[in-house]
């Protein structure tokens, strides 16, 4: 069954997605980043080329020819991925395809509306019996 991790209190959800992608990639985990729209995907794409400051995260769009060989793929608007290790979701609702993945990370920002939507997603997963964990980024050193 898919394991779900909630990272709450993010001051910058795209930067958090990059940090988590980098950490996963360094551990040999392949990452699928799913965004709600093309503009968010474009912004994340640009940030991935600059993160971390001394390197970059090799990535491509999930529909690119080289996607199967790429450790990080970026997607918006469809549910086709070349691998199903880790999904980092930037959606306001649970992605309909989340259960294909071994692990899902939900990133929740600090504003009230994003927190409310995050609680709804948490309840959705909990009510269906998924294993959940919570990491509060606002309490990180």
6, 115 in Cβ contact below 8 A?
Answer: no
Share of the chain above pLDDT 70, in %: 99
Count H helices, E strands: the chain? 3, 7
Report the CATH number that the domain containing residue 86 is assigned in CATH.
3.40.50.10110
* 31 pLDDT higher than 70: yes
| Cα–Cα dist 138/96, whole Å | 28
| Cα–Cα dist 56/98, whole Å | 26
**Closest residue by Cα to residue 78 from 41, 112, 105:** 41
- 16 is in which domain, residue-wise? 3-139
* 140 pLDDT higher than 70: no
- pLDDT tens for each residue of 40-89: 999 999 999 888 777 778 999 999 999 999 999 999 978 889 999 999 99
Count structural domains, the chain. 1
pTM: 0.94
* 141 pLDDT higher than 70: no
- pLDDT tens for each residue of 100-136: 999 999 999 999 999 999 999 999 999 999 999 999 9
């Amino acid at each position: 069954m898919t394991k779900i991790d909630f990272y709450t209190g993010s001051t910058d959800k795209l930067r958090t997605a990059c940090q988590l992608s980098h950490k996963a990639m360094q551990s040999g985990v392949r990452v699928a980043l799913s965004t709600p729209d093309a503009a968010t995907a474009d912004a994340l794409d640009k940030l991935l080329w600059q993160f971390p400051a001394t390197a970059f995260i090799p990535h491509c769009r999930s529909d690119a020819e080289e996607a199967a060989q790429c450790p990080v793929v970026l997607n918006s608007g469809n549910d086709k991925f070349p691998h199903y290790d880790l999904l980092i979701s930037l959606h306001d609702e649970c992605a309909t395809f989340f259960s294909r993945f071994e692990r899902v990370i939900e990133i929740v920002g600090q504003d009230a509306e994003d927190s409310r939507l995050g609680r709804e997603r948490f309840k959705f997963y909990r009510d269906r019996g998924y294993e959940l964990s919570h990491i509060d980024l606002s309490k990180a050193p």
